[in-house]
Amino acid sequence: MDNSKIGFIGLGNVGGKLAGSLLRHGLDLTVRDLNAELEAGFVRRGARRAASPAELARSADIVITCLPSPAASAAVLEAPDGILSALRPGQVWLEMSTTDAAEITRLAALVEARGGLAMDCPVSGGCHRAETGNISIFAGGSRAAFDRVLPVLQILGRRILHTGALGSASKLKVVTNYLCTVHLAALAEALTVCKVAGLDMNTAYEAIRISSGNSFVHETESQVILNGSRDISFTMDLVIKDVGLFDALAQSLDVPLELSPLILNIFKDGQRRYGPRELSPNIIRRLEEACGVKVLGEGFPALMVDDEPEAPGYEVLPHARAQRAGGGSPA
d(CA 134, CA 86): 32
Side-chain half-sphere CA neighbours of 92 within 13 A: 22
d(CA 157, CA 138): 10
Instruction: Report the greatest alpha carbon distance in the chain.
Output: 64
Dihedral sign of CA atoms 190, 196, 199, 200 in order? positive
Structure letter (DSSP) for residue 295: -
Per the CB < 8 A criterion, the answer to whether 111 and 117 are in contact is yes
Examine the residue annotation and report whether 173 is marked as an active-site residue of this protein: yes
Structure letter (DSSP) for residue 8: E
Per the CB < 8 A criterion, the answer to whether 95 and 72 are in contact is no
Q: At what angle do helices 15-24 and 36-44 cross, to 10 degrees?
A: 10
CB neighbour list of residue 233: distance below 8 Å, 6 or more residues apart: 13, 14, 127
Per the CB < 8 A criterion, the answer to whether 131 and 306 are in contact is yes
Q: How many other CB atoms are found less than 10 A from the CB of residue 91?
A: 21
Catalytic residue among 17, 171, 173, 195: 173
Per the CB < 8 A criterion, the answer to whether 35 and 55 are in contact is no
Polymer length in residues for the chain: 331
Ranges of beta strands (E only) in the chain are: 5-9, 28-32, 48-49, 62-65, 92-95, 117-120, 123-124, 135-140, 157-164, 314-315
Q: Which residues are catalytic?
A: 173
